[in-house]
Amino acid sequence: MSNFDPTKYGPALAELIASAEPMSLDAGDADIANRPALSALSLESTFEHVSIVDTDMARCCLSGVWLLHNFLDESHTISQGISTPSGSYWHGIMHRREGDYSNAKYWMRRVGEHPVFDEMAEHSHNWDPFSFVDDCERAVGSGNQAEISPLRSQQHLEWQMLFDFCYQAAVGR
């Protein structure tokens, strides 16, 4: 998603998205410096510049931004309360990152067919969410940076696509 522009998601999210380090395939280290800004996020403050038409999708955005900064527990708390395909998708990514690969696949099955899956397949040859979980498990287990680096790029693209999808649905675009 070469045209991903953090500023199009409003002031509350723009800085948090732009300042994030690339996510590791595993849990990573929580971005403690941004915890106060993340903790201050609410649906009202995050979306004060637009109207929310889908609260679940707006909550998905909050789950995603917590995950972006490696706060897996906070992301999990939000995503597990969203009973939609996108909520399940964020939930699955969180479990993949924490290394609970079978649970990640369980949540990916709960997603069903998601438009982001098709987008990812267009950008990443032979991509599917279940193979991606397996690839991440193998790469994290081996520690081989030559395997990890391209998967991190795919994961970053996946995050951008899912976040944008959720944001656009949250505000009715």
pLDDT bin (cut points 50, 70, 90) of residue 1 is low
For 8-45, b/e burial (b = at least 16 CB within 10 A) is ebbebbeebbeebeebebbbbebbeebeebbeebeeee
pTM of the predicted model, to two decimals?
0.96
The encoded tokens of residue 55 equal: 């609260």
Give the angle subtended at the CA of 21 by the CAs of 41 and 124, to the nearest 5°: 105
The encoded tokens of residue 23 equal: 């996510």
Number of Cβ within 10 Å of residue 137's Cβ equals 17
Q: Encode pLDDT of 65-122 as tens digits.
A: 999 999 999 999 999 999 999 999 999 999 999 999 999 999 999 999 999 999 999 9
The encoded tokens of residue 70 equal: 């490696």
Q: Encode pLDDT of 5-41 as tens digits.
A: 999 999 999 999 999 988 999 999 999 999 999 999 9
DSSP string, 101-147: HHHHHHHHHHH-S-HHHHHHHHHSTT--HHHHHHHHHHHHHHT-HHH
Q: Encode pLDDT of 123-165 as tens digits.
A: 887 789 999 999 999 999 999 999 999 999 999 999 999 999 9
